[in-house]
Chain A
Amino acid sequence: MSQTTLPPVEKTQPVSAPSRRISDRSRAERKLGWMLAGPAFLVMLLVTAYPIVQAVYYSLFNYRLTDPENRSFTGLSNYGVILTDSLWWQAFGVTVLITVITVAVELVLGFALAFVMAKALRSLRPTLRAAILIPYAVITVVSSLAWKFAFDIDTGFVNHWFAWLPGISVDTDWFGGQASSLTVVCLAEIWKTTPFISLLLLAGLAQVPEVLQEAAKVDGATFWQRLWKVTIPNMKAAIMVAVLFRTLDAFRIFDSIFVMTAGANNTETVSFLAYRQTITRVEIGLGSAVSVLLFLSVVIIAFGFIKGFKIDLAQARGE
């Protein structure tokens, strides 16, 4: 509403005194607001912005920790080295593959779990909720170890149990090849993080107005029609938020790779590559450049999601 359309009404009350008091008060509130929220804000900037600036800076040098004397400015050549190396593209491809597979499976499975939890009998609901939190709470390293030991050729029971399936025998070496290793990695990731997605989807399901469901039912819509035409469109925001968070999370995969394959048989991911360059090989320059590229990939994914799918976080928050 623009000011000009308002009729010039004679103001009956003295304006100046209270308005200054309000602005004083709001100024004090502003100050207090920043005093209280400032420290948290500052710490967040310090622990993330500073390191990433540092990483960008290091990435411009040829810098090896064991040979600090020969540190030299090389501009963008580290990026050139990485982006023309098949090792980077291999790691990038593996990361994208794991992300796409796990997020797709988790979305479907998570929706099914959320659906059962929403509809399940009242007596079963608390137990289900407690059970579904357990994979969320178990640390990734432990779940990775559990899955690794289960599929391991010496300690595992999986081969023994599933030997009747074609392609699996008692001595199938799951960690001997790329495809089978990645299968186990994906299975472990899916087990661990599906509960998180299904909790978010359950919250989304609760926001679908019951009236719409009833109306569709009265109009004679089948179960699937109601699912596709009423339920899913109404929880689009929750679905998008869940997919966005999980995609970003999956793209950073590190723990499971470290524990299960340590990058053997071309199962290295981008995070693992950055770790190996910096911490194992102490190639600070190259490692920093990989870190910056990883950071950029995550930023691009986040922006792509928010712009491309028009995720309105405010809407998802029910505002």
Chain B
Amino acid sequence: MSTREKVWWWVAGVLIILYCLFPIAWIVSLSLKAPSDISNAAFLPTKATWENYTQIFSGSAADLFLPALRNSFGICLIATFVSCILSMFAAYAIARLDFPGKKLILSTALAVAIFPVISIVTPLFNLWRQIGLYDTWLGLIIPYLSLTLPISIWTMSAFFREIPWEMEQAAQVDGATTWQAFRKVIVPLAAPGVFTTAIIAFFIAWNDFAYGISLTSTSRARPVPAALGLFSGASQFEDPTGITAAAAVVVTIPVVVLVLLFQRRIVAGLTNGAVKG
């Protein structure tokens, strides 16, 4: 490659990085602006301040933000855990066993994945009110499974298909019991796939807005995205922009950390699930 060409690839690469990070940089910058600075029409604050962060953690917006953060973590972790367990069994069966209906399960997962969330919300809104699941954790965990299960099944069965299952038999021939063979050989091979799937499922649950906004009404179960969408400032005399931006940054940090730590696996999981299934 000539130097000239190299320079162009570098320019293209740097442009992509700027493109990806620019809105994030902006929301971070906005979160560091003091109220007097919010409408300074500039990208950067004249003087960075932690004021907005203090507001959401211990100030006037804490009552709105902290319960939402707790709800989001709790609901998303439980939904991810449940869907991982269920899809682990399903993916094992799909990758390992021969039974009629494999295609049906995979197509159902695909159909559920393309399902418009709002079409599910409408009947659930009424049903949840009748049976008392409206505005509860369980009332969000159940519908979140419709988001996390399909992608978990697809991604995990793609991972599981690549496991050389013969190794299990080889271990048994060498004298291991069935359970030993499974635990010592298959579990370590399957663990990265399960873990990656869990991260992707968590992202999807964390990202939900439609269920969160429609099936909750108080800080009892309302997750962060819904709370952010409704943020209007602790008092009407306060401009909520800086506070909202700070809350947005706090919500973004966990996912960005996960992405940076496990990027290689996440890319493999996303593309395997969608392209190789």
Contacts and interface: CB of A to CB of B under 8 A. Distances in A.
B119 A137 contact: no
Interface in A114-150: 116-117, 119-121, 124, 126-143, 145-147, 149-150
B244 interface: yes
A258 B229 contact: yes
A18 interface: no
A89 interface: no
B89 A40 contact: yes
A177 interface: no
A54 B124 CA distance: 9
A73 interface: no
B41 A156 contact: yes
Contacts of A36: 89-90, 92-93, 97
A170 B110 CA distance: 47
A230 interface: no
B75 interface: no
Contacts of B187: none
B245 interface: yes
A138 B86 contact: no
Identify whether the interface residues of B are mostly helix, strand, loop, or mixed.
helix
B259 A137 contact: yes
B277 interface: yes
A3 to B, nearest CB: 21
Contacts of A252: 116-118
Interface in B206-256: 206-207, 209-210, 213-214, 225, 228-229, 241, 244-245, 248, 251-252, 255-256
B86 A39 contact: yes
Given A26-B98, A33-B99, A195-B20, A241 B274 contact: yes
A140 B228 CA distance: 11
A43 B30 contact: no
Nearest to B271: A203
A313 interface: yes
Given A37-B93, A39-B89, A139 B274 contact: no
Interface residues of A, number: 99
B101 A140 contact: no
A294 B117 CA distance: 10
Contacts, number: 303
A283 B13 CA distance: 51
Interface in A10-63: 26, 29-30, 32-34, 36-37, 39-41, 43-45, 47-48, 51-52, 54-55, 58
A231 interface: no
B41 A248 contact: no
B229 A199 contact: no
A48 B146 contact: yes
A155 interface: yes
A291 B118 contact: yes
Nearest to A135: B20
B126 interface: yes
B219 to A, nearest CB: 17
Nearest to B20: A131
A288 B26 CA distance: 39
A119 B8 CA distance: 11
Given A134-B21, A202-B271, A298 B116 contact: yes
Given A41-B108, A141-B225, A241-B275, A274 B143 contact: no
B52 to A, nearest CB: 13
Contact of A129 (B24, B100, B126, B263): B263
Identify whether the interface residues of A are mostly helix, strand, loop, or mixed.
helix
B12 A258 contact: no
A302 B114 contact: yes
Given A119-B9, A139-B225, A140-B207, A317 B277 contact: yes
A216 interface: no
B42 A291 contact: no
B90 A150 contact: no
B210 A133 contact: no
B97 A142 contact: no
B149 interface: yes
Interface in B1-46: 1, 6, 9-10, 12-13, 16-17, 19-21, 23-24, 26-27, 30, 38-39, 41-43
A251 to B, nearest CB: 8
B194 interface: no
Interface string A285-319: 00110111011001000100000000001001110
B56 interface: no
Interface of B: 1, 6, 9-10, 12-13, 16-17, 19-21, 23-24, 26-27, 30, 38-39, 41-43, 86-87, 89-90, 92-94, 97-102, 104-105, 108-112, 114-127, 142-143, 145-146, 149-150, 153, 203, 206-207, 209-210, 213-214, 225, 228-229, 241, 244-245, 248, 251-252, 255-256, 258-260, 263-264, 266-267, 270-271, 274-277
Given A37-B94, A157-B42, A294-B118, 6 more contacts: A40-B105, A44-B112, A47-B145, A120-B13, A124-B10, A149-B245
Interface of A: 26, 29-30, 32-34, 36-37, 39-41, 43-45, 47-48, 51-52, 54-55, 58, 65, 113, 116-117, 119-121, 124, 126-143, 145-147, 149-150, 152, 154-157, 159-161, 170, 191, 195-196, 199-200, 202-204, 238, 241-242, 245, 248, 251-252, 254-255, 258-259, 271, 274-275, 278-279, 284, 287-288, 290-292, 294-295, 298, 302, 313, 316-318
